[in-house]
Each structure stands twice: as structure tokens, then as C-alpha cells.
Amino acid sequence: MTAAVITGSGRALPATYTQDDVWEGFFAEHYAGLRSARRVFSASGVSTRHAVVNPVHEDISQWGTGARMARYVDEAMPLGKQAVAAALDSAGLAPGDVGLFSVVTCTGYATPGLDIRLASDLGMPAGVQRLLVGHMGCYAALPGLGAVGDYVVARSRPAVMLCVELTSLHVQPARHDLSQVVAHALFSDAASAVVLEPGARRGLRVAATVARTDSSTADHMTWDVTDLGFKMGLSPRVPDVLARHVGDVVQELLDTAGLQVGDVAGWAVHPGGPRILDVARDQLGLTEEQMAPSRRVLAEHGNCSSATVLLVLDELGDVDGPVVAMAFGPGLTLYATLLLPA
């Protein structure tokens, strides 16, 4: 059977700011009186982040959801266009070659959506098929990759998947709520895109995907639409839930190819936060060297929701052997994808 192979990637990042600057310039006052807030920011593992709306310069915490969604379209269009154009260029393809264009996001919505607007701006064919993967959260790139890969295999046509997340549009009013502090300390903006082609002889082929949802812990991670944007709920028990499942999920994934953990050449673990990376390391018996790409992405870019695992794959570079990509999000849901050399 023809395989779907990742042959190109691209990214676009808005303006960079440092964790210290955004704390001193905005959040220190925002969370005045909540003594643990500074500790949360310091322990986040994040040094720099990216934002289309830096709260130091523009406080949108009282904006309504409609205004935030309008801003989302304005900001997401140029970032998405840059990321997709870079991915197509690295794959050596033109917009007219694309059979399916998929957009993954949980931070903004519009109709007509980014998929229609960007396809037109980029010059994709009028008959290009489109798929929106919406509001799934941080793990959404992996089910998106699976669906797009299935199209590539079934139709023998190239496809593009774009993840574009603008979490800075959802800064919330000040509350003495540690889950909000954690979200504001971790999350960042980015657009990342990949091109998949049928039967290519270079790149990484999408070999298998495994999912696990622990619905008994559905309240541990939430992303609610409110009148003031989208609000995250985040329980400190999330790493403990992941610890119960990550080993079994990875073993099930590797069993599809007759592999063991020691056979994996590269690990692209979604850096949801330092404790989540520690859990993956400890439960899978990985080294800090193997976790380094995920920790670097967390430090340099923060948690960019669905776009992040693609940033980690880029950070891995050319890997001579199997790669496992993992991400986690609401549900509580774990996704893992096996990528093998073409």
C-alpha cells in the first residue's frame, strides 16, 4: 500500500517576548496578591514565547469573544500563509498540486474559515478539498495527521496540514485561580505546517496512530468558550493521569511495527509543561538527551497547543530511524503517532 510521507514543513512565529518581561510588565500586577503566581511563572520551563497580542502593550482581558475572533482572523491569515508557503517550498510543490488542505485550531473560528481564505490566497485549486479539525486542543495535530494521511493514501494526492494557534487572544481577567496562572505562564502562539505526499522516497511516513481517552478524568483539562474568550481549566492531577496511560499507549503503538522503546531514534513529546515531560521520561525510561528537543521547544517557544508537536518534530531534524510523536489534551486524551523512514 502507498504510504503518506511527510516531505516538507514550515513555521511562522509572531513577535517574541521573554517570560521575565511579560511577568514584570503585566502579570505581576494582574496577579497581585496571589503569592504563588510568581513561582508558577518561574517554574514553567519557558524562557521566551511569541504573541500576536503582548499584554504588556495591549490588555485585551476584558474583550468580548466576538472581538477576539475578528482579531484571530486578522492575525492568523499572514502567519498561516507564511507557514504553508514555507512547507510547500521545502517539499518542492506548488499550491496547485494540493489535493487536500486541512487547518487545525482550537483558538479561533470564522466562517468562511481559514481553510477557504488561505486556499484562495495561496492559489490552491478551486476544487481543493478542505478539512477543519477544531477545538480538540493540544493533541489535535496527531489525529489531524492521521486523517490527512488517510486521504493521501486513498486518493494518491498531496495534502497540507496547518496548525495555527493564537492563545494570546485568550488572556483572562484576573482571578485567584491557579489553573489560569499556569495557562498564562505556559501558552504561546505559532503556526506550523506539514506537507504529505503519496509514496515519496524521502521523509517520514505515517505508519500508525494510537489514541487513549480516560473519560473519568474529563474535568481535569477543559477549554470553555465564554463571553470573554476561551478559558482553560487545568488540574494539577493531569501528570498523574498521563503516568497511568503513557506506557501502555506507546507500547501498543510500537507493537504495530514490532518495535521496542529502545528502537526509537527520536521522541517528539508535546511539552505541555515540565512535569508532563518528566512523566513521559520516567514512564518510558528515556534519557534527558532524548527529551532535550521537547524541553528546548518549551523553553524557546512555550506551549503552542496543537502546533507544538510539529515544532518538536522540526527540532529533531533528520533522524535515522523510527520517531514517536506524542501529545496530550482534553478528554483526558493521549495520542501517539509512529513515523518511520520512507
- Phi, psi at 230, each rounded to 5°: -100, 135
Within a 10 A sphere around the Cβ of 92, how many other Cβ atoms?
Answer: 11
In the chain, the amino acid numbered 320 is D
Give the catalytic positions in this structure. Answer: 138
Distance CA 9, CA 90 (A): 6
Contact between residue 14 and residue 191 where contact means Cβ atoms under 8 Å apart: no
- Measured between alpha carbons, how far is residue 78 from residues 75, 122, 180, 243, 298 in Å? 6, 11, 29, 38, 24
Angstrom distance (rounded) from CA 208 to CA 142? 10
Burial class for 243, CB neighbours closer than 10 Å (0-12, 13-18, 19+): middle
For residues 35 and 75, give the distance between their C-alpha atoms in angstroms, rounded to a whole number. Answer: 34
Q: What's the CA gap between 169 and 305, in Å, rounded?
A: 13
- Nearest-Å Rg of the Cα atoms of the chain is 19
Task: Name which of 341, 340, 331 is nearest 137 in CA terms.
Answer: 331
CA proximity to 100, closest of 115, 86, 111, 112: 115
